[in-house]
A and B are shown apart, each in its own frame.
Chain A
Amino acid sequence: MSGISNILQIATTALLAEQLGVEVTGHNIANVNTEGYSRQRVNLVTARPVPTSYGPVGTGVDVLGIERAFDPFVTARLNDKKSVLSYYQTRSDVLEQVATVFNETQDGGLNELFSQFFAAWNDLADNPTGSGERQALLYQSLTLCDAFNSRANQLVQERANLLQQIGPTIEEINSYTSHIAQLTREIVESESEGRHANDLRDQRQLEVARLSELIDVQTYTPGDGTLSVALPNGLPLAQGVLSFDLSYQISASDTIELIWQGPGGTTEIIDTSILSGGELTALIQTRDEVIPRYQQELDQLAQDLIIAVNDQHSQGVGLELFSQTKGTYQVSDPAVAMSTSLPLGGQIVVGTLQIAVDRDGAPLVMDTIAIDPSLSLNDLVTSINTHPVLGTYLTASVEDNSLKIVANLASDTFGFAGDDSHVLTALGVNTYFTGDNAYTLGVNAWVLNDPDLVAAGQIDATGAHAVGDNRNALALADLEDTPVATGGLTLGESYQSLVMSLGLEAQEAGNQESFYQGLVVQLSQMRDAVSGVSLDEELTNLVKYQRAYQAAARLVSVADELYQTLLSIKK
């Protein structure tokens, strides 16, 4: 039915539609800075025309609904890349922190301390009787040990810090998944009348985006307004209106085990190697794989240092001999073969060991003891005590599970020479360093308390030894250029390769971070190109809707005038 009332009808629909347009534009402007907001627009269609004898006549405009500008594919890719980005961000942060432990670009690094340590041995070789040189060497050694200890400690601290972050991160993940399930419930409820719950969907999308920064997830939209979020192995974190929590525990091998809390109290341990993105993955990987690798390398280096220095030191003799001495390493069981009962027992090979005895400072006797790795500490004690020559002058015993040797007479002292079995290294007798890894590395208390016991010289085949002898100090100084570390490297080279591989790994993580940063920026721009709000565009729309509203209002007044004209005919 066309007519003036139809004009009014048209004007009414137009006024309502344009007003809605202004409202939606206002909503867009208000949310220009809201994270995750998708621009909305009014979907207008031509109202159904009425058939007349002239043909169908339009009845104005109809509002079909309010739509949001959203590209699910770009958003999914963006979330995916954000997940990888946050993985590399976290990894790079952790590696940079580990790198500061080994920062050799500044003074006072371990490299420098290595050089100073060997320089001190050279100085001692230049003046074997010098007490100043001996003190300087001990001081350098303590500094070197401190440097190893504190670096080992810092790595342990770093792992502890990471563990502290893992709990809260998992809680955050759980709170996001439960929000997602809750929002799904609200969306399903409010969309039951066929309307789009745009703002709720934006919120849910934002939660998914935040979730994927923490852990890499895959999302599925079955199409009924629900959303499923699942781990890469398919275990769901949110499924429809349900959500499942994660928790963690520390395994027997000191690694993190993620636990999925399924429906009805079921649990499943997630293999963390399936995870590839997100902050949590980076935290777990750096704690369980990256840092332990460097800890192991540092420990190996410390052990190489201990073995190399002690092997050489135990061949030598100081300015004075021992009236008694005790090993620094303990056997787990004095009745078991030393090769397995000592921490460095693997060093022992079949060979011999010589002990020289002095009386009143002059050589008395010197004899050989045969060593076999299958000997237990008890066996060794017996073989010293029952030795036809040495047994007369020395008494060996097991004290605190270590070897103790005491000279029988106060006038007698003893020293060691020509140990090709490395048993002294394994027992910690006449050694320089103690400990067997970076954390336990220390200077033997025997030499620390009596610097004259630093073995700069060696005992001759005749049992003679002189204070000016520098052979052992020279041999120890030579260790700087000897390939004694793992992989046929010198100790310095071995440390340099550790620093370089750590630097490269940190650099690689940093490079990946900037690469994914670039991708995320690009994808964000693509997302914003679809969903973002442009103020200029909204202002244009505002003017557009305002003008249309003004025109529709004019239509009302025109219809009014038509009515007036029509009514005035009857006057």
Chain B
Amino acid sequence: MRVTMSTIYTSIQNNLQRLAEDLQRINASMASGKKYQTISDSPVDVGAILGLTQDESQMVQYDRNLDTAKSWLSTTLSALQNITDMVRTSMALANQMATGTYNASQRQAAAQQIQGYIEEVMQVGNTELKGQHILAGYSTDSPPFVEGAWQVQSPVMHLQSGSTGTAVSGGTYTGSASRTYVVEVVSGGGIGVGTYRVSVDGGQTWTSPAVIPAGPAALGDGVEVTMGGTWVAGDHFSISVYRPIQYQGDTHDLEIAIGTQSRMVVNEVGSAAIGGDLGSNDLFQILAQLRGSLEANDPAEVGASLESLRSYESHITSILAGLGASLDRVAMKENISGYLKDELTRQISDRGDTDLVAAANLLSAKETAYQAALLSSSKVMGMSLMDYL
């Protein structure tokens, strides 16, 4: 083939241009740390990297969600643990007070202690996390447990054998502290015959006996009782007056996404965990009854409350176990996601990041080639027949 001037010069130019392009590309990939500068460099790899990056950022988000889940679960757990502690102390107290070795004034003091626990449980039940009431279901903006209006409870009856006495409590309480009225029949008989006396300190002091009226009898501070039937001397009953604590939240479970199509309940609904709904495991109700029995100096009823506390204790223990399991699950998820994130980072780096060692090697190889091309080109360009004519 004839080699002409344009063949020589064009090929020199093309070759140098190609090498310069290669050098530029290697340089850009080293300087930016990224293997590909545009999507057409390797569409398949770039597409795969996009997918992996999306997975990675999701993983980071799930990690953040797990943090939220963890703080909800652990705050709930510690609140319910506090309550469990108080339940156990109350049980110990009730256990002592159920025996006959304590007198009325000691039981009055114990009632004060239980009142303290009721207030404390309510406060714990209204625990907030970053301004949200965590035991209120979705109604996180207001405290789930509030004190209701004064309520006069139904009488707790202790009748002698042969007695047909009935008592219906009523009236509107006008006092300011919870209390329990103990009514004792002094001499038996029905309306207009029998006499009764009233104590507000568990039987330590009594009012002077009065005849059972037809219609409501005032016990004090607006509380009334209507007695019927035929009473036997020694019959007694107690009427407690207090403000019951009510649950104001809703019963929704708060879920948080902890993975693709995977959610976790991070709250406990206050009414189910603590009470305020007058259900069988309403701690407030149980404690209020215990307080009433203590105020009434009624060891038998204290014993009954102890049973209720025991059943509540096993109820809350199972809730605590569930929360513990959820926290374990969170920890496990965090472990897995940490590992997955590392793996994704590695894969993204494998596909998209410049392998500096390989790139540096390639750069020096191209550099050598470029220098060789420059050398040979200058040799070829320098040669001419003219030099010899």
Question: Per a CB cutoff under 8 Å, which of B39, B68, B139, B389 touches A102?
Answer: B39
Known: A111-B50, A115-B58, A532-B6. A105 touches B64 (CB 8 A): no
Q: Which residues of A contact B11 (CB under 8 A)?
A: 521, 525
Interface residues of B in 13-34 (CB under 8 A from A): 14, 34
Q: Which residues of A contact B256 (CB under 8 A)?
A: 125-126, 470, 474
Indicate if the CB atoms of A115 and B54 lie closer than 8 Å. yes
Interface hit among A142-150, A258-266, A397-405, A536-544: A536-544
**Contact digits for B42-83, partner A, Cβ 8 Å, 1 yes 0 no:** 111011011101100110111011001000000000000000
Known: A127-B130, A535-B384, A539-B389. A474 touches B255 (CB 8 A): yes
Q: Which residues of B contact A497 (CB under 8 A)?
A: 47
Is B357 an interface residue, CB under 8 A from the partner? no
Shortest Cβ distance from B261 into A: residue: A481
Instruction: Give the residue among A105, A129, A481, A510 with the most B Cβ atoms within 10 A.
Output: A105
CB distance from B238 to the nearest CB of A (A): 39
User: How many angstroms from the CA of A433 to the CA of B64 in the assembled complex?
Assistant: 26
Is B10 an interface residue, CB under 8 A from the partner? yes
Shortest Cβ distance from B68 into A: residue: A126
Is A524 an interface residue, CB under 8 A from the partner? yes
Shortest Cβ distance from A464 into B: residue: B250
User: How many angstroms from the CA of A245 to the CA of B64 in the assembled complex?
Assistant: 67
Instruction: Give the residue among B40, B62, B130, B140 with the most A Cβ atoms within 10 A.
Output: B40
Indicate if the CB atoms of A114 and B54 lie closer than 8 Å. yes
Known: A105-B38, A502-B39, A503-B43. A496 touches B5 (CB 8 A): no
User: How many angstroms from the CA of A103 to the CA of B50 in the assembled complex?
Assistant: 11
User: How many angstroms from the CA of A103 to the CA of B46 in the assembled complex?
Assistant: 10
**Contact digits for A92-114, partner B, Cβ 8 Å, 1 yes 0 no:** 00011001101111100101101
**Contact digits for A116-149, partner B, Cβ 8 Å, 1 yes 0 no:** 1011001101110110000000000000000000
Q: Which residues of B contact A118 (CB under 8 A)?
A: 58, 61
CB distance from A133 to the nearest CB of B (A): 11
Q: Which residues of B contact A477 (CB under 8 A)?
A: 257
Q: Which residues of A contact B43 (CB under 8 A)?
A: 499-504, 506-507
Majority secondary structure of chain A interface residues (helix, strand, loop or mixed): helix
Q: Which residues of B contact A534 (CB under 8 A)?
A: 2-5
Indicate if the CB atoms of A529 and B137 lie closer than 8 Å. no
Is A417 an interface residue, CB under 8 A from the partner? no
Interface size class on chain B is: 35 or more
Question: Per a CB cutoff under 8 Å, which of B37, B137, B140, B386 touches A105?
Answer: B37
Q: Which residues of A contact B4 (CB under 8 A)?
A: 39, 528-529, 532-534
Is B131 an interface residue, CB under 8 A from the partner? yes
Q: Which residues of A contact B42 (CB under 8 A)?
A: 503, 507
Indicate if the CB atoms of A96 and B65 lie closer than 8 Å. no
Q: Which residues of B contact A480 (CB under 8 A)?
A: 58
**Contact digits for B188-216, partner A, Cβ 8 Å, 1 yes 0 no:** 00000000000000000000000000000
Interface size class on chain A is: 35 or more
Indicate if the CB atoms of A503 and B47 lie closer than 8 Å. yes
Is A530 an interface residue, CB under 8 A from the partner? yes
Instruction: Give the residue among B49, B384, B385 with the most A Cβ atoms within 10 A.
Output: B385
Question: Per a CB cutoff under 8 Å, which of A122, A466, A481 touches B138?
Answer: A466
Q: Which residues of B contact A493 (CB under 8 A)?
A: 51
Indicate if the CB atoms of A532 and B14 lie closer than 8 Å. no
Shortest Cβ distance from B136 into A: residue: A468
Known: A104-B50, A129-B140, A524-B10. A529 touches B2 (CB 8 A): yes
**Contact digits for B271-292, partner A, Cβ 8 Å, 1 yes 0 no:** 0000000000000000000000
Is B247 an interface residue, CB under 8 A from the partner? no
**Contact digits for A244-273, partner B, Cβ 8 Å, 1 yes 0 no:** 000000000000000000000000000000
Indicate if the CB atoms of A100 and B10 lie closer than 8 Å. no
User: How many angstroms from the CA of A111 to the CA of B53 in the assembled complex?
Assistant: 8
Indicate if the CB atoms of A104 and B2 lie closer than 8 Å. no
CB distance from B232 to the nearest CB of A (A): 51
Question: Per a CB cutoff under 8 Å, which of B44, B250, B263 touches A474?
Answer: B263
Is A478 an interface residue, CB under 8 A from the partner? yes
Indicate if the CB atoms of A119 and B57 lie closer than 8 Å. yes
Instruction: Give the residue among A457, A464, A532 with the most B Cβ atoms within 10 A.
Output: A532
Shortest Cβ distance from B57 into A: residue: A115
Is A275 an interface residue, CB under 8 A from the partner? no
Known: A119-B57, A467-B138, A468-B138. A543 touches B389 (CB 8 A): yes
Is A358 an interface residue, CB under 8 A from the partner? no
Q: Which residues of A contact B137 (CB under 8 A)?
A: 466, 468
Known: A122-B64, A467-B140. A33 touches B47 (CB 8 A): no
Is A241 an interface residue, CB under 8 A from the partner? no
Indicate if the CB atoms of A116 and B1 lie closer than 8 Å. no
Given contact pairs A100-B38, A532-B4, a sample of 4 additional A-B residue pairs in the complex whose CB atoms are under 8 Å apart: A469-B138, A481-B260, A502-B43, A526-B1
The 9 A-B residue pairs with the shortest CB-CB distance in the complex, in nearest-first order? A503-B43, A532-B4, A468-B140, A466-B138, A506-B40, A503-B39, A500-B47, A115-B57, A126-B68
11 pairs of residues in contact across A and B, judged by CB atoms under 8 Å: A105-B46, A122-B62, A122-B65, A125-B65, A129-B132, A466-B250, A469-B252, A495-B50, A499-B43, A500-B43, A506-B43
Partner-A contacts on B (CB < 8 A): 1-7, 10-11, 14, 34, 36-44, 46-47, 49-51, 53-54, 57-58, 60-62, 64-65, 68, 130-132, 136-141, 250, 252, 254-257, 260-261, 263, 352, 384-386, 389
